[in-house]
Amino acid sequence: MSNPTQPNVKLTNGSDYREDYANSVQMRVNIWDFFLVFGTLQQQSETHVEIKNFQGIYLSPQQAKALLGLLQQNVAGYESAFGEIKLDPRMSPQGQVH
């Protein structure tokens, strides 16, 4: 089976486009979509953490899977160049990643 012709894609930024830094991502999943909420985390003390969310993005399951593949590929390339990325052992794969 032959591959379909790839479309010519033109990328533009809308008037509301912005770039920001996030060190907190929360995810909610349902049958129709994945919802990612990005924010910044500040730990005021050992027992007080404040997260300020600034953007929520809905992804279709297909886009979520495509993003997963891109992230896996790029994390592997990063680790090949700079070494293994260590995660805090207190972080649970089932829980939120901050």
- Tens of pLDDT along 16-41? 999 999 999 999 999 999 999 999 99
Is residue 90 scored above 90 in pLDDT? no
| pLDDT score, position 46 | 85
CA–CA dist 53, 37 (Å, integer): 7
- Which DSSP symbol is given to 87? -
CA–CA dist 30, 70 (Å, integer): 22
Nearest to 20 by CA among 44, 66, 50, 52: 52
- 73 falls within a domain: yes
- 50 falls within a domain: yes
- 91 falls within a domain: no
Q: How confident is the model at residue 4 (pLDDT cuts 50, 70, 90)?
A: confident
- Tens of pLDDT along 34-74? 999 999 999 888 889 999 999 999 999 999 999 999 999 99
- 56 falls within a domain: yes
- 62 falls within a domain: yes
- 34 falls within a domain: yes
Give residue 31's domain range.
Answer: 24-82
- 10 falls within a domain: no
| pLDDT score, position 98 | 45
CA–CA dist 39, 79 (Å, integer): 25
Domain total in the chain:
1
